[in-house]
Homo-oligomer: A and B are copies of this chain.
Amino acid sequence: MCELLGMSANVPTDIVFSFTGLMQRGGCTGPHRDGWGIGFYEGRGLRLFQDPRASSESEVAQLVQRYPIKSEVVIGHIRQANVGKVCLANTHPFVREMWGRNWCFAHNGQLANFNPEPSFYCPVGDTDSEAAFCDLLNRLRSQCTGPTSLETLLPVLVEACVEYRRLGVFNCLLSDGDVLFSFCSTKLAHITRRAPFGPAHLRDADLQVDFQAETTPDDVVTVLATEALTDNERWQVYQPGEWRLWRGGECIAQGLSA
């Protein structure tokens, strides 16, 4: 299995602290040795760092930890391969341009007997995750005659996730750079930090940060992860079938699918 990391914030925020915790699970405190990746939206652009090497040993991961890239939407992933060999093409998150926006996707889980109809977007690698992402975009695209926001497409999106979930485990994060969609099939948690901010301590490394010193009173920052990244805060655990849509750190829509 893999681990997901997501962030939605109302001001450009760096994710160095959470990323540092996640990276430990990539071969150090966790077994996810088969690559990692993280995408940061910067305006309409997307900055993507990926490495098929274990994150705890990756020089690119060290750069990302040193380098406080500020973003309002982030999607990250560490991988323990089950479908598809260990290589760059199989490393999450996956990105496609649709309607002039960068769509970014990461998946935690596994789908059995998943053979979607070939259509416009095709996987480059051989993971079930990238195949699901392409199928998802093909479905969204086929529903619309022109550019449509992720928010408007929510019903189609949830329906597809419910269908994928029947084939196995399908926890995922998806963004068009504006909103962040999250779907929980088995395991996902989130925390929303807002004033008054306090200290946070990582579960996976002896690192503490005082968010009070790094934020303004209006900041709202939500972090999503497969499992809680800190041990002194209260993370909210998604229920199986639950989905949430985030914008600017706030949950703007949510639901529970059957």
Other-chain residue from B67, B87, B99, B123 in contact with A122 (beta carbon distance below 8 A): B99
- Residue from A45, A91, A101 whose CB has the most chain B CB atoms within 10 Å: A45
Nearest-Cβ distance from residue A97 to partner chain B, whole angstroms: 6
A41-85 residues at the B interface, CB under 8 angstroms: 42-48, 50, 52, 59-60, 63, 67
A88-105 residues at the B interface, CB under 8 angstroms: 88-91, 96-97, 99-102
Nearest-Cβ distance from residue A111 to partner chain B, whole angstroms: 18
Known: A63-B60, A63-B63, A97-B96. A44 touches B122 (CB 8 A): no
Question: Counting CB contacts under 8 A, is A235 at the interface?
Answer: no
Nearest-Cβ distance from residue A223 to partner chain B, whole angstroms: 23
Number of interface residues of A (CB under 8 A): 30
B contact residues around A101 at 8 Å (CB): 124
Question: Counting CB contacts under 8 A, is A120 at the interface?
Answer: yes
Known: A63-B60, A88-B42. A97 touches B121 (CB 8 A): yes
Q: Is the CB of B96 within 8 A of A123?
A: no
Q: Is the CB of A91 within 8 A of B59?
A: no
Other-chain residue from B42, B46, B120, B122 in contact with A120 (beta carbon distance below 8 A): B120
Query: Which residue of chain B is the closest to A60 with respect to CB atoms?
Result: B63
Question: Counting CB contacts under 8 A, is A168 at the interface?
Answer: no
Q: Is the CB of B99 within 8 A of A45?
A: no
Other-chain residue from B63, B102, B121, B122 in contact with A124 (beta carbon distance below 8 A): B102
Other-chain residue from B48, B90, B97, B124 in contact with A100 (beta carbon distance below 8 A): B124
Known: A42-B87, A59-B67, A63-B60. A47 touches B47 (CB 8 A): no
Would you give 19 A-B contacts (Cβ < 8 Å), ordered by A? A43-B87, A43-B88, A43-B89, A44-B87, A45-B50, A45-B89, A45-B124, A45-B125, A46-B88, A47-B50, A47-B88, A48-B48, A59-B63, A60-B63, A60-B67, A63-B63, A97-B124, A99-B122, A102-B124
